[in-house]
Structures are given as C-alpha cells and as structure tokens.
Copies of this chain bind each other. A is one copy, B any other.
Amino acid sequence: MTDTLAITEKSRLRRMHERGHFDRPTINTILDAQPMCGVGYVIEGTPFVTPTLQWREGNHVYWHGSSASRALRQSRNADVCLSVSILDGFVLARSGMHHSVNSRSVTLFGTAFKVEDPDEKLQKLTHFVDGLFPGRYGSLRPDHAQDLKATMVLCMEISEGSAKVRTGAPSDEEEDYALPIWAGVIPVKTTVGEPIPDPRNLDGVAIPEHVRTFRYGSTRS
C-alpha cells in the first residue's frame, strides 16, 4: 500500500493541473473534516446522487442507511463515486472569468461492498458515532437487534480518486492588476453553535465531554 493513490484515467477526469492531489494525507484530512458526502451510483443507466454521511477507517470509507433503501441496495457490489466538498471562500477577481471559490474536495471511485458480518457492522457503526463524539456509543442504550438488522453499512476502499484544493488570492491576468477593481476573498467558515439540550432530557443529566469539546472540521487519525 503506497501513500499515494494511483493516477488513473478516471481520477484524471477532473481538471487536475496544479490543484490536484493524490496523496493519502491530503485526501484523508478532507474526508475527516467533512462527514457530509454525495454518493453517486447508476440505476438503469441513470445517475443518482444521494447525500449521506461518510466516515473513514484507515484506507476505507463507510456510509450507512436503511437496509430497505434502494440507494444502498443498488450501490452494493456496484460502481460508486463518493464526493466530499468543503467551501472555504468566494474568490472575487478583476474579471468574471477568474472568479472562483476556495475549496477542498475529494472524489473517490470504487466498488461498494456491504459489511456482512454483524459484529463488524456494529463495530463500524460504533466507530462512526465515536469518531465524531469519542466515547458516546458506550453511553447509549444498546442497539436493538432488529435495528442493527435494518441498517446496512457499505464500504469502499480508498484506492482510486483525488483531492482538489484551491486556496489564496485571485489569479488575474497580469494586465488586469492595473485596474481599479476591488479583488479579494470572502472567507466562509463552518462553526459549531451552543448545544441545544433536548427538552425531554432528565433533570441533572450533565452535558457530556464529547458534546462540550466537539469541534466540527477537526481532523482525526
């Protein structure tokens, strides 16, 4: 296993030039920073994109849903494309052409497999929750067997794909820097607000450490 993904025809489809990255640390950091993803799949020749949450363990990425979900049943053992994007800012240039966004994105290609073993499935779901909120799973009411049965976990190896990152100031045509036009970046930030306790929480139930210290967008190993 190398530290870099293979550069394939598929993963080169995106305009790569200076913004493309194939190294695992860059790809993993983006995946870990943004659980929201879109999973693309094909049903009878038609493209579908389903928004869902992904989580990573080593060189695999996971997502889950209802076992009855047609999206998951159709993705199983099939080609999928998993896409994660983070918008970091609007880039305002001196011509319309050079307006852009600062962003980080990852596109992965592969075959989705179902996690079949029930113990492994529970372990993956535990990692999903604990990856976001360390230690939470053990504090919860244990899963009912029928709920686990009704949940499907899909898995894909991180082996084909790439990241794309744009940062910094606008890139204008050299002669346009002489124009009296305001250019710059409007940063976009994602922040976490004050936790809102469920009104039905029992009296005296303290807010857990994993909620108080939750940082969205932080990286995990």
Partner-B contacts on A (CB < 8 A): 10, 13-15, 36, 38-43, 45-51, 53, 65-66, 69-71, 79-83, 85, 87, 89-90, 92-97, 99, 101, 103, 105, 107, 109, 125-126, 129, 132-133, 136-137, 139-144, 147, 151, 164, 169-170, 176-202, 204-208, 211, 214, 216
Contacts and interface: CB of A to CB of B under 8 A. Distances in A.
Given A38-B85, A96-B126, 19 more contacts: A15-B66, A36-B87, A38-B49, A40-B40, A40-B49, A42-B46, A45-B79, A46-B109, A49-B81, A51-B83, A53-B101, A90-B214, A92-B211, A95-B147, A97-B147, A178-B202, A180-B204, A182-B197, A182-B211
Contacts of A207: 182, 184
A188 B193 contact: yes
A176 B140 CA distance: 10
A182 B195 CA distance: 11
7 contacts: A39-B49, A45-B45, A90-B214, A179-B202, A183-B201, A185-B196, A186-B216
A189 B208 CA distance: 21
A86 B121 CA distance: 27
B192 A205 contact: no
Contact of A184 (B49, B94, B211): B211
Nearest to A74: B13
A87 to B, nearest CB: 5
A120 to B, nearest CB: 15
B49 A179 contact: no
Nearest to A200: B177
Given A45-B42, A71-B13, A129-B96, A216 B192 contact: no
Given A196-B184, A198-B184, A51 B85 contact: yes
Contacts of A189: 190-193
A180 B139 CA distance: 10
Contact of A51 (B103, B140, B183): B103
A193 B187 contact: yes
A80 B41 CA distance: 11
A141 B92 CA distance: 12
